């Protein structure tokens, strides 16, 4: 059977399932490109950025402004631009900026979960409609039955169920992959954010009393 024949055999529920599959594929591609760009960009800038901030904070600001397409750069820059903040205030600013970026990192998660939940139900609906069609073609008390109608109803039931499961499985795999990348990103934000807090506190204390700051603080940041 060709794709068109399979689509026709699945009945009316194949229309929303096709739309769901297109949406899931498009969002999966968009998220894959997003996470690839974020992962590659962070590896290239984050450690050099922290090293630059140790010795020359203004230069680090310029580096961050050149990479505003990365969530971690926007988070760090928003916190660092809070002039004269104490270390505790800086931590709050960093946490607030991080929370503001989380919806972007979790973007389209609700759409994936909706497709995962609804696609199998549409397949089940197609199964029910196909069985109704098959049984309706059987006239009790009459000799014979419309074989084409019976087989068509069974085909609709089976094809729609399989299509719903395929769409849901694809969406589930994509959602789990992006959820794992999201959790990893949150862990990296916490790790690098802690290192930035240490360096900020060092510079803050140096500003208040340069003689009270030792090089031991630097050793805590890898």
Q: Could you tell me where the DSSP H helices lie in 56-146? A: 57-65, 71-80, 87-105, 109-136
pTM of the predicted protein model: 0.79
Identify whether 24 is part of a domain: yes
Identify whether 129 is part of a domain: no
What rounded mean pLDDT belongs to the chain?
84
Identify whether 156 is part of a domain: no
**pLDDT tens digits, one per residue of 107-118:** 999 999 999 999
- Farthest CA pair distance, the chain: 104
SS3 category, 66? coil
Identify whether 137 is part of a domain: no
Report the 3 state secondary structure along 151-219.
HHHHHHHHHHHHHHHHHHHHHHHHHHHHHHHHHHHHHHHHHHHHHHHHHHHHHHHHHHCHHHCCCHHHH
Mean pLDDT confidence for 60-77:
91
Residues spanned by the domain of 199: 12-115+175-219
Identify whether 21 is part of a domain: yes
The CA-atom distances, in angstroms, between 26 and each of 2, 7, 102 are 23, 20, 21
Q: What gap in Å lies between CA 41 and CA 95, rounded to an integer?
A: 21
Supply the pLDDT for residue 11: 77
**pLDDT tens digits, one per residue of 128-182:** 887 777 766 665 555 555 555 556 556 667 888 888 999 999 999 999 999 999 9
Count of domains in the chain? 1
Identify whether 105 is part of a domain: yes
Identify whether 58 is part of a domain: yes
Q: What's the CA angle centered on 150, arms 144 and 151, to 5 degrees? A: 125
Is residue 220 very low, low, confident or very high in pLDDT (cuts 50, 70, 90)?
Answer: very low
Q: What gap in Å lies between CA 93 and CA 162, rounded to an integer?
A: 49
Identify whether 144 is part of a domain: no
């Amino acid at each position: 059977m060709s794709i068109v024949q399979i689509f026709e055999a699945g009945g009316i529920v194949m229309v929303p399932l096709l739309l769901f599959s297109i949406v899931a594929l498009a969002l999966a591609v968009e998220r894959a490109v997003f996470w690839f760009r974020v992962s590659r960009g962070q590896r290239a800038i984050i450690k050099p950025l922290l090293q630059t901030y140790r010795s020359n904070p203004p230069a680090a600001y310029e580096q961050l402004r050149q990479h505003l397409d990365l969530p971690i750069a926007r988070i760090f820059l928003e916190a660092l631009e809070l002039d004269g903040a104490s270390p505790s205030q800086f931590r709050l600013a960093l946490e607030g900026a991080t929370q503001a970026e989380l919806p972007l990192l979790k973007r389209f998660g609700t759409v994936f979960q909706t497709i995962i939940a609804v696609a199998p139900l549409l397949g089940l609906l197609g199964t029910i409609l196909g069985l109704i069609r098959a049984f309706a073609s059987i006239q009790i008390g009459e000799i014979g039955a419309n074989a084409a109608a019976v087989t068509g109803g069974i085909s609709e039931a089976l094809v729609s169920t399989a299509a719903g499961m395929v769409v849901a499985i694809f969406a589930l795999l994509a959602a789990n992959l992006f959820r794992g990348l999201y959790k990893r990103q949150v862990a990296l934000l916490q790790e690098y954010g802690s290192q930035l807090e240490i360096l900020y506190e060092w510079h803050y204390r140096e500003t208040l009393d340069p003689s009270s700051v030792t090089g031991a603080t630097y050793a805590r940041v890898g």
